[in-house]
Amino acid sequence: MSATGRPRAAVRPPGAGTALTHTAVLTARQLRAVVRVPAFLVMNLVQPMIWLLLFGQLFRSVVEIPGFAAGSSYLEFLTPGVVMMMALFGSAWAGTSYIQDMERGVMDRLLTSPTHRGALMVSSLVHQAVLTVVQTLVVLAVAWWCGARFGGGILGVLVLLLGAVLLTATFSALSNVAALVGRDQTVLIGISQLLTIPLMFLSSALMDTRLAAPWVRDVAAFNPFEWAVVVGRGALAPDPDWGEVGAHVGYLAAVAVVMAWAATRAFRAYQRST
């Protein structure tokens, strides 16, 4: 009962419609920041372009090595790896937005508002996924302009985008966990550097692992980054092995779900501590 003697209206938890609306609003907020300062988007493209244009020419003769993956050019072999590298490096910094919101007091204001809690996490993942899609299309366009041709066609490109988005979701969630637990940019930088470089080199992103030491191949088999590379390269192949591609998409999806769950738990822990 209220102070006036009238029954109080029941307080309903935010529904699915509210969650979607809040996710859209929060995603738009983060995308507006990118539009206002597009240098961040460009900076994340610089390194992949260096890999694509410089390494694509520098190591173009490696396709002649016996045992190297079949393909007409090293550029075609390299492009899916560069796409996934870009997704990995970009998503590893996703937690930066959380740390900035914490330092500015924005996070506390959001937590005291009716904002749907799930939307705070999902919007970060959607934001990073949108950036990944845009940047991937740019990389594919540049690779095409440089002479790469992909037999997988439109379907192959769509599957490549799916693999990149799943990889982005996985490491964006991991980055958010680091931000929510560590609450410091230095911690986030350390974890990002510790993970991204080894994951990249312990994969076939730059070189066919069949030419590497056996232990590298063994480790790569359990590397989520390698799974994404396999998805992208397999989907763009002239005759894709959809069984292998589908299996690795499943692996990526499973890891993305686990990391999203971990990020949600970390977010709840942060809420309880504030």
pLDDT of 247 above 80? yes
Predicted local confidence at residue 229, as pLDDT: 97
- pLDDT tens digits for 46-56? 888 888 888 88
Of 34-38, 57-61, 118-122, highest mean pLDDT: 57-61
Please tell me the distance from the alpha carbon of residue 114 to that of residue 16, in angstroms, as a whole number.
14
Give the global pTM. Answer: 0.86
Please tell me the distance from the alpha carbon of residue 152 to that of residue 74, in angstroms, as a whole number.
17
Please tell me the distance from the alpha carbon of residue 88 to that of residue 168, in angstroms, as a whole number.
6
More confident residue, 159 or 34: 159
Predicted local confidence at residue 37, as pLDDT: 73
Please tell me the distance from the alpha carbon of residue 102 to that of residue 107, in angstroms, as a whole number.
5
Predicted local confidence at residue 64, as pLDDT: 82
pLDDT of 42 above 80? no
More confident residue, 262 or 116: 262
Domain boundaries, the chain: 24-60+67-273
Please tell me the distance from the alpha carbon of residue 79 to that of residue 65, in angstroms, as a whole number.
19
Q: How far is CA 16 from the centre of its chain?
A: 25
C-alpha dihedral over 260, 262, 264, 267, to 10 degrees? -130
| Mean pLDDT, rounded, of the chain | 85
Confidence bin at 189 (pLDDT 50/70/90) = confident
Predicted local confidence at residue 10, as pLDDT: 40
Please tell me the distance from the alpha carbon of residue 111 to that of residue 247, in angstroms, as a whole number.
39
Confidence bin at 21 (pLDDT 50/70/90) = confident
User: What is the Cα gyration radius of the chain?
Assistant: 21
Mean pLDDT of 11-19: 56
Mean pLDDT of 225-231: 97
